[in-house]
């Protein structure tokens, strides 16, 4: 469990400069692995072209920070008391109802921070 969390947080441990350099190499038009794979299947895409660079940077940022958000949500889920969930099960609530009316309201403080 602790190893899994550590592996999930690995992208956060890498400094933003290292992440930038890594993705610059991976997405390089001439040497990059990702454009080479896309070219092999017939897709020609310039990740740093006009109008696309911002989307590429956003994707890289999402890749780097998603594990942190997952960890926050996991901590929030683990902090939910069992009593409301048990009461909803006893009342015969469906899974979707429990998610919408019990779990999400209890996760609201975590979701606001995340």
| pLDDT, tens only, 30-44 | 889 999 999 999 998
The answer to whether residue 16 scores a pLDDT higher than 90 is no
Q: Which residues contact 63 (CB under 8 A, 6 or more apart)?
A: 11
What is the spatial distance between Cα 114 and Cα 56, in angstroms, rounded to a whole number?
22
Put simply, whether the predicted model's pTM sits higher than 0.85 gets the answer no
- Residue ranges per domain, the chain? 1-65, 80-114
pLDDT tier at 79, thresholds 50, 70, 90? very high
The answer to whether residue 8 scores a pLDDT higher than 80 is no
Rounded to an integer, the average pLDDT of 41-65 is 90
Average pLDDT, rounded, for the chain: 89
Q: How many CA atoms lie within 13 A of 9 on its CB side?
A: 11
């Amino acid at each position: 469990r602790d190893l899994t969390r550590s592996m999930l947080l690995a992208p956060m441990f890498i400094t933003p400069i290292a992440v930038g350099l890594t993705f610059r190499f991976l997405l390089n038009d001439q040497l990059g692995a990702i454009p080479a794979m896309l070219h092999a299947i017939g897709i020609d895409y310039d990740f740093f072209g006009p109008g696309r660079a911002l989307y590429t940077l956003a994707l890289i940022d999402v890749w780097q920070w998603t594990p942190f958000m997952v960890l926050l949500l996991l901590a929030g889920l683990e902090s939910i008391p069992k009593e409301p969930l048990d009461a909803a099960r006893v009342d015969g609530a469906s899974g979707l109802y429990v998610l919408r009316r019990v779990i999400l309201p209890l996760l609201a403080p975590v979701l606001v921070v995340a």
